Amino acid sequence: MYKQLGVIGCGLMGGSFALAMKKAKLVKRVVGYSKSPSTTEAAKRLGVIDVVAESALLAVAGSDVVLLAVPVSATEATLKAIRDLVTPQMLIMDVGSTKCDVSEAARSALGDRLPSFVPAHPIAGKESGGVQHAEATLYQGRQVILTPLPETLPQAVQAATDIWSSLGSQVLKMTPKNHDAAFAAVSHLPHLLAYAYFQSVATQPAGRDFLSLAGPGFRDFTRIAASEPAVWRDILMANKAEVLVQAGRFRQTLDALEALIKADDANALEARIRLISEARAEWQMGAPRLPK
C-alpha cells in the first residue's frame, strides 16, 4: 500500500484515479492540487481527495506516488515545479494522450530525476470532464499504455504496471513514437473529424433545424465533439505531424468513396462498404491483437 498519492490536476482523469486507488485500498491518503481552487474544493467535498495542496510541489511533498493529470502542454512547467522533491523511490506518472511531447517535456524538466517518471496513457475518458464526473471504475477493463524511456527505472515501470493492473486495466508497453502514430489514427483524427463535421452542420443556414432532426447515429458519431477544448487543442498540436498524416489517408478514402458515388457505381460502392461494414462488425474494443 502506498502512503500518499499526490494528484496534480483533480479533473475527470485525476479524480477517477484517486477514487480508484482508494477503492482498491492501494493508498492511505490523497493530496490534491489544481490550478483552480474551486476544483480542489469540489474534489475534497466529493471525497476524491483528502487534503488540498496549495501548489503542485506541496502535492508531491510526502507522496510516494504522483499522478499528473493536466493538459499535455502544462506537463513541462508542472514537472519543473515539482522537480526538487522527486526522489528515486517515488513513482511519477502522467495520463496524457500524446507521449513524444510528454517524454521530451519530462527529459527537459526532470534532468537526473527522469528515471522516476513513467509516461502513461489510459484509454479511458468521457465527453464530460471535471471532477464531478470522476468515478472509481473509469479505468476498469480499459487499456493503459506505458511508454517508458531508456532511462526509466525498471522498478518504476513494474510499480506502474502493478498499480494499473490492480485497478482492473490491461497494461501494454510501447515506444512513444509508436504510441503517437497509433493514437493519431484511432483517437486524435476522429476527434478532429467530429469537430469539423459538427461545425459544418451547425454553421449552415438551416443548421438549427437540421440538428433538431438528428438521431442516434448522429448522437454517437458526434459524442467526442463535446470533448474538452484545452485538452484537445494540446493533443492536436502536440501530435500534429501524425494527425496530418492520418487526415491525408482519410481524405484519400473519402475521395475514393465520393468518386464511386459521382460515377453512379452502385455495385462498387456496395462492395466497398460491405467490406468496411463487416470489418467494423467484427471489431471489438480491447480485443487482443490477432497473429498476422
Q: Which of residues 41-80 bind a second copy (CB under 8 A)?
A: 73
What span, in angstroms and rounded, lies between the C-alpha atoms of 78 and 76? 5
CB closer to a second copy, 154 vs 215? 215
CB closer to a second copy, 23 vs 233? 233
Q: Are 27 and 88 in contact (CB under 8 A)?
A: no
Helix (H, G, I), strand (E, B) or coil at 265: coil
Check binding of 210 to a second copy (CB under 8 A).
yes
Q: Are strands 170-173 and 143-146 parallel, antiparallel or unpaired?
A: parallel
What span, in angstroms and rounded, lies between the C-alpha atoms of 150 and 135? 33
Check binding of 119 to a second copy (CB under 8 A).
no
Check binding of 170 to a second copy (CB under 8 A).
no
Query: What are the CA-CA distances from residue 257 to residues 201, 212, 243, 260, 270 (Å)?
Result: 20, 28, 21, 5, 10
Least gap, CB of 208 to a second copy (angstroms): 7
Check binding of 220 to a second copy (CB under 8 A).
yes
Q: How many chain residues touch a second copy (CB under 8 A)?
A: 97
Q: Which three cell numbers stand for residue 256?
A: 475514393
β-strand partners of 171: 144
Check binding of 288 to a second copy (CB under 8 A).
yes
Determine which residue in the list 153, 172, 173, 175 makes contact with a second copy, applying CB under 8 A.
172
CB closer to a second copy, 127 vs 162? 127
What span, in angstroms and rounded, lies between the C-alpha atoms of 5 and 27? 7
Q: Which of residues 17-46 bind a second copy (CB under 8 A)?
A: none
Check binding of 252 to a second copy (CB under 8 A).
yes
Q: How far is CA 164 from the centre of its chain?
A: 14
Check binding of 104 to a second copy (CB under 8 A).
no
Q: Which of residues 178-207 bind a second copy (CB under 8 A)?
A: 181-183, 185-187, 189-204, 206-207
